[in-house]
Amino acid sequence: MQRIVWGRTTSSNVMKVLWGLDELGLPYQRVDAGGSFGGTNTPAYRAMNPTGLVPTLQEGDFALWESNAILRYLCGTHPAGSALWPADDRARANIDRWMDAQQTVLNRPMTGVFWGLVRTPADKRDLNAVAAAIEETARAWSLIETVLRQHDFIAGADFTLCDIPWGVHAHRWFGMQYYGLTRPDMPALRAWYDRLCRRPAYRDCVLATPIV
Ligand SMILES: N[C@@H](CCC(=O)N[C@@H](CS)C(=O)NCC(=O)O)C(=O)O
């Protein structure tokens, strides 16, 4: 069965799905969509994904949107997924909780930092607003710093599904140009990011894409 990921590689939410597919060793085709590629406002695309956003996963006549739901679906339907998303209820709930927190706690302030620094033209850049967003984003990252002081990955000793949503944003957090603005030092977070950088799938699906 043909598996298609709709979405541009520069989208953090698309990166999550590509990284997850690579970790699971699942083949797929990718079709550029969203951003300057467009294509997300057509009736055919909206029938698959009524939000008009990316990514969308398509497998035959089945289509799924919401990046974290796609990651869980991929793990749930493939044997290798049990290492990343174990069946044990409490282990799984812990992973799901951290995945949700990326969307509910990190995403909004992190978007403020990323758009303020990267996707805003230099003459319109508001460094005071970005500094406030950095402060709020750092509070979100400090949740991760706390658990990473106890173990190598977010949910425990091993890499699991919840490292993916946060890991995509870690590359931006460490890789953006800050124009003199500072971030608090978080050594456990940095060590975890360095650990992720040694994973081939992270290198191919996240590090290889410019922060734009
Ligand atoms: N909660 C959704 C958010 C999807 C989303 O906001 N996607 C952005 C890219 S990261 C998008 O489609 N932006 C418009 C576009 O690229 O055309 C998810 O996790 O999949």
Domain count, the chain: 2
C-beta of 53 in contact with ligand 1 (< 6 A) = yes
Mutate which of 8, 17, 54 for ligand 1? The one with the most ligand atoms within 8 Å of its CB, which is 54
The Cα–Cα gap between 114 and 171 comes to 11
pLDDT reading at 48 higher than 90: yes
- Is 25 in the same domain as 55? yes
Query: Model's pTM, two decimal places?
Result: 0.98
- Is 59 in the same domain as 113? no
pLDDT at residue number 172: 98
Ramachandran assignment for 38, one of left (phi > 0), alpha (psi -120 to 50 degrees), beta (any other) = left
- Is 116 in the same domain as 65? no
1 pLDDT band (50/70/90 cuts)? confident
- Measured from the CA of 52, which atom of ligand 1 is nearest? 12
- Measured from the CA of 65, which atom of ligand 1 is nearest? 20
- The distance from CA 180 to its chain's CA centroid, rounded to whole angstroms, is 26
* Beta-carbon contacts of residue 155 (< 8 Å; ≥ 6 apart): 91, 94, 95, 98, 162, 163
Domain that holds residue 181: 86-205
Question: What tokens does 118 get?
Answer: 């990267």
In this prediction, residues 98-124 reach a mean pLDDT of: 98
- Give the CATH number for residue 14: 3.40.30.10
- Measured from the CA of 14, which atom of ligand 1 is nearest? 10
- Is 96 in the same domain as 19? no
C-beta of 56 in contact with ligand 1 (< 6 A) = no
Question: For residue 210, with 0-12 CB atoms within 10 Å meaning exposed, 13-18 middle and 19 or more buried, which class applies?
Answer: exposed
C-beta of 12 in contact with ligand 1 (< 6 A) = yes
131 pLDDT band (50/70/90 cuts)? very high
- Is 99 in the same domain as 177? yes
pLDDT at residue number 51: 98
